[in-house]
Chains A and B, each alone.
Chain A
């Protein structure tokens, strides 16, 4: 979760939002959110309805918990990407940022594709200027 906190500015800069989900009740989730200084919400699937419907439910551990997994869902709720992890290790947030940026870059003139690294570099500077000095509490 700390990895996603560190990439929050970059994720928001692509126009995307982010939300975490666990089966913990609100009070526990709020404790986690404050402890980790998460700038995004934690949704509480206490009844395990979503994790079961989405088939990412691990019934064998801790009375039933979510498998560590990440989805990118587009405007029309269409799934652009998912990563389901079998261990506690999840896909790095930097990879999610890369995917979120790809769609934006694929649209403009083809010439841009010859300089993907330059585009990344410029965006990184722009993001640092916009988000670099932001407090995680903000």
Chain B
């Protein structure tokens, strides 16, 4: 496990690949290749 590190403004965010809710794998690099990406982290189901 890499050391936890908040990607600060101006830095390159670490890439990731995660499944979405219907199982499609999504890679940050691919998302970002189409334009800026807004990533909204949330607490999840309540």
A77 contacts B40, C-beta separation under 8 Å: no
A19-B39, A72-B37 given as contacts; is B7 within 8 A of A66 (CB)? no
Total residues of chain A contacting the partner, CB 8 A: 61
Contact for A73 among B6, B19, B28, B41, CB less than 8 A: B28
B26 contacts A19, C-beta separation under 8 Å: yes
Which residues, 1 to 39 on A, are CB-close (under 8 Å) to B? 1, 4, 11, 14-24, 26-33
B14 contacts A54, C-beta separation under 8 Å: yes
- Give A residues with C-beta under 8 Å from B: 1, 4, 11, 14-24, 26-33, 41-45, 49-57, 61-62, 65-82, 84, 88, 90, 96, 100
